[in-house]
Structures are given as structure tokens and as C-alpha cells.
Amino acid sequence: MIAVYGADLRARFRGLDRRHGIILTREGRAAEFSPFIEYDDAYAARWLACAHEALAGELPAPRRDHIAVNVTVPAVDPERAHAMVLASGGCTTAKVKVAETGQDLSADLARLEAVRDALGPAGHIRVDANTGWDLSEAARVLPQLDRAAGGLQYAEQPVADVADLATLRRQIDVPLAADESIRRSADPLAVRRLAAADYAIIKVQPLGGVRAAMDLAEALALPVVVSSALESSVGIALGLRLAAALDCELACGLATVNLFAEDVTSSPLRPSGGMLPVRDVLPDRIDAVRESGEVERVWRERLARVAALAGIDLSDYEDEQ
């Protein structure tokens, strides 16, 4: 099966109100292809390689059957941020989006204070700026966010340039995590060479699959947090397989199905007790969220281009309706 899905998001996230992607199935297995629409075909080929690997069924055996996860809090108002943490399914770690275009520092500070109140003093808070600051701004702002949060576990990708990330790490006391400097870089190992980060954010689709992600994690030699690329439960299931094959001591960023208003499955991967189970997902609700018309055409044409570029034959997936 090849099916284009669309799902509304409960809060605007990464500039999106609705998430799209493709679910592929073969011989009882399901995988997801959902590169963000602005990504070019060459980069999207990694995402398809990930799905192809998953459908081949040759994944490493999991070491654990449950993974601790963080709640992800978009750039929402403090009241909503507080409510999202309380409704997270028992998560004791929160990743909070900051540096949102059109918002100022006061909004970030208020959001962090609300999240701390909801988590209590023992919870962990991390922030994600998605490269939203330059070096001088990050050095000025992060200590303030650290105080508002009652201590940050880390700040994820506050600046875009890996050399600036390394400089920032030496200027402030807040630990740093690299995301875009790993998954969007032609030289991800620069993070290690420059000692630019304390943690590595690893995402299975953007890195080309479980084994490629594991190899890169080993080469980086940093503590790893496996995170989502805002996938449906089908994509999250593969992220959980990666986390279960790695030594992840910190909560992983894989609870983002909570941001979806609906899912491709009747058994979505939502946390309980701050944990997610490592299990397969059956896309048994695909017809309820299946796209048609222009959206389907655009995604199918994109899939065909990327498959041709990657040398992947799609005939095995077509079209068990």
C-alpha cells in the first residue's frame, strides 16, 4: 500500500497546522515517508531509505521494551503550556520551543515558568531554539531562560553554525545539544571534532534509517536523545526501535503523537507513566485520514522522484487498497 495521509495538529508546530506524509506497507509491515515539504529530493532520499530499511525487516533487536519520553511544548501561551504538561501522560521531562518568529523573550520566559510549575521541582526542562539566535543573542538569552526554568537540562541547537555552537558552549554554563548540526550537515562529525555539544539529537528518518543512525551515534560518541520528526505513530514506532537499540539514558523526544488531532492507527503511541512501548503499529485508520486530490498528487509525484533518485523500486508497495 502507498497512502498519503493528512492530520491536523492540536497546536501550530514548526510553522505547520497540518502534517502530511506517506504510509507504505509490505508483507504486514508499515513505514513512513514524511520529509517536510521544503526539503529537496536529495535530502528526502534519506527519509525514503529509512522506510525501505524498515520494510525489509532487518532491524537490530531491541534492548528494552519501553522508552522514557519527554512532552513537547510548542510556542503556546503559558496557560496552554501548563495544561499540555499536565495532560502529557506522566512525562517528567519537557522540551519547550523558544525563539519563535514573532514572539519576544518575555513569552519564552512565561512559558518556561508555567512548564516548571506544572512539572514541579524534580522535573527536567530542555529548550529547543531551532537555530533561532545568533551567537551573541544566544549567549545573552540562555542564562535568562535557565533561571526561568529553574535550571535547564540542555538547550537544543540555539545557533545554526557549528563553530558558533562550540564557542557558545565555552561561554555559558547551560549544556548544549546538536540537532540540525547533525542531521542537516554534510559533516556531522564536526560536532565531535569541535566539542560543540554535550548531547546529540538523533532522528531516524532524516538520518536514513536505524542502522545509519546507530553508526552516526557511535561515531559522535556523545550521549544520545532520539527524537521525532513529527511523524504519525508509524514513524514514531521506528524511532522507538532506534532508541531501544541504543543506550539512551535521558528521556527521548518521541511523544509528539500527542500533538496530532488524529492518527493513522486506532492504537496511537501516546505516553503512559512517561513511557512509550516498543511495538509495531498497524495503520488501520489510514482510510480515515487518507488525502486525495492535489495533496495526494503532489506527494505521490514527490515519492516517485525520490525513489528514482535513490534507486528504490516502489512496485512492491503499490497499491493494496
Predicted confidence band of residue 319 (pLDDT cuts 50, 70, 90)? low
Query: Using 50, 70 and 90 to split pLDDT, how confident is the model at 26?
Result: very high
Alpha-helical segments (H) within the chain: 41-56, 78-86, 105-119, 135-148, 162-171, 180-183, 190-193, 210-220, 233-245, 286-289, 293-310
Q: Give me the mean pLDDT over the 41-64 stretch.
A: 94
Question: How confident is the model at residue 40, as a pLDDT?
Answer: 97
Q: Which residues are within 8 A (CB) of 317 and not within 5 positions of it... i.e. 6 or more apart? A: 1, 2, 24, 25, 26, 55
What confidence category does residue 321 fall into, taking pLDDT thresholds of 50, 70 and 90? very low
Q: What is the mean pLDDT of residues 84-92?
A: 98
Q: Quick count: other Cβ atoms within 10 Å of Cβ 295? A: 14
Q: Which of 102-106, 147-151, 315-319 has the lowest mean pLDDT?
A: 315-319
Q: Rounded mean pLDDT of 289-299?
A: 98
Using CA atoms, how far apart are residues 246 and 153, in angstroms rounded to an integer? Answer: 20
Q: Quick check: is 203 catalytic?
A: yes
DSSP tag of 290: B
Identify the active-site residue in 203, 241, 285, 302: 203
List pLDDT tens digits, range 2-12: 999 999 999 99
Our answer to whether residue 95 is catalytic in this structure is no
CB 264 within 8 A of CB 232: yes
Distance separating alpha carbons of residues 74 and 107, to the nearest angstrom: 12
pLDDT at 88 over 80: yes
Whole-structure pTM value = 0.95
Confidence tier at 316 by pLDDT (50, 70, 90): confident
Sign of CA dihedral 92, 108, 38, 206: negative
The answer to whether residue 17 scores a pLDDT higher than 90 is yes
Q: Decide if 59 contacts 34 (C-beta within 8 A).
A: no
Average pLDDT for 103-111? 97
Whether the per-residue pLDDT at 318 is higher than 80: the answer is no
pLDDT in the model for residue 148: 98
pLDDT of 14: 87
State the burial class of residue 301 (Cβ atoms within 10 Å of its Cβ: 0-12, 13-18, 19+): exposed
Distance in angstroms (rounded) separating the CA atoms of residues 225 and 74: 18
Contact between 132 and 99 under an 8 Å Cβ cutoff? The reply is yes
Sole residue written with cell 501516546: 270
Computed over every residue of the chain, the mean pLDDT equals: 96
Q: Which of 67, 112, 76 is nearest to 94 (CA)?
A: 112
Convert the pLDDT of each residue in 188-242 to its tens digit.
999 999 999 999 999 999 999 999 999 999 999 999 999 999 999 999 999 999 9
Instruction: Give domain limits for the chain.
Output: 2-59+286-310, 66-277
| Residue 19 pLDDT | 98
Q: Which of 19, 97, 124, 241 is catalytic?
A: 97
What's the pLDDT at 58?
A: 81
- The domain defined by 66-277 folds into TIM Barrel (3.20.20)
Interior/surface letters 153-168, b for 16+ CB within 10 angstroms, e for the rest: bbbbbbbbebebbbbb
Q: Is 60 exceeded by the pLDDT of residue 246?
A: yes
Residue 39 has pLDDT above 80, yes or no: yes
44 pLDDT higher than 90: yes
Pick the CATH number of 2-59+286-310 from 3.30.390.10, 3.90.1200.10, 3.90.1170.50, 3.40.50.970: 3.30.390.10
Please, which residues have CB within 8 angstroms of residue 259's CB and are 6 or more apart in sequence? Answer: 9, 10, 11, 13, 72, 74, 230
pLDDT (0 to 100) of residue 84: 98
